[in-house]
Amino acid sequence: MWRTGKRGRLEAMRVADGAAQAGARADPAEVARFRDLTAAVRGASDPGDAAVPSFDAMWGGVERKLEAARAPVAVPREAAEAAPGLLARLLGDRPLFVLAPAGAFLVAVVLGLLFWTRPPAPNNQCFVDSYDAGSGSVIIDQDFDDSDRPTVIWFVEEG
């Protein structure tokens, strides 16, 4: 009498793998199915099988790319030796303490150049105290709200 159920399948699996003796209480048909399945799985994982793609070529390409990425960049020796050390010494442990004042100084210099090198706009406010014309018309065109704008004293002759 063959074992059935879960125990029977486990027994058949062990027999198919050679872990148990054939003829134990395993169903030979079940054992045969497990053997077929094992053969199919092994066959599928065989690299010689054309149906299964080979990953060797892909891994080879990946390894070549990794090696290329790991290769050191050609940097002049003096620069490689001096630059990182100098910058690190300048910046110290808290680079913001150096970079923030330096940035503020740079902004101040630019603003200073923009504003202080430009001469101040002259005050063109003009106060007309008197005018005298034998003929014609005199018109004072001025705007005291705009000190840049020069006054125009129009004298339009008759005729």
Partner 1 sequence: MNVRADPWARPHAVRAAAGLAVLIVAAAALPAAADAPPPRAMLTVTVIEARKGPPFLHDALKPMWEMLRKSLMLRKSFGEKFGYYDLLSASDRTVDVDGRVEIALPDGDRFAATYGGITPEKGLLRVSLEYGDFRTKVRIHDGGSFFQAGKRFREGTLVIGVKAALEKAR
Q: Does 144 bind partner 1 (CB under 8 A)?
A: no
Q: Closest approach of Cβ 89 to partner 1, in Å? A: 49
CA 130 from chain centre, in angstroms, equals 72
Number of residues near partner 1 (by CB under 8 A): 28
Q: End-to-end alpha-carbon separation of the chain, Å? A: 141
- Cα separation, 9 vs 34, in Å, equals 9
Q: Which residues contact 1 (CB under 8 A, 6 or more apart)?
A: 25
Task: Out of 56, 129, 145, 158, point to the residue binding partner 1 (CB under 8 A).
Answer: 129
Q: Does 102 bind partner 1 (CB under 8 A)?
A: no
Looking at the Cβ atoms of 38 and 125, the one nearer to partner 1 is 125
> Strand, helix or coil at 105?
helix
Which whole-number Å values give the CA distances from 112 to 45, 102, 105, 122, in the listed order? 75, 15, 10, 20
Looking at the Cβ atoms of 48 and 134, the one nearer to partner 1 is 134
> Strand, helix or coil at 66?
helix
Task: Out of 77, 135, 145, 158, point to the residue binding partner 1 (CB under 8 A).
Answer: 135
Site string for partner 1, 18-57 (x = CB under 8 A): ----------------------------------------
- Cα separation, 144 vs 136, in Å, equals 25
Looking at the Cβ atoms of 54 and 147, the one nearer to partner 1 is 147
Task: Out of 81, 131, 144, 145, point to the residue binding partner 1 (CB under 8 A).
Answer: 131
Give residues in contact with partner 1 (CB under 8 A).
122-136, 138, 141, 146, 148-157
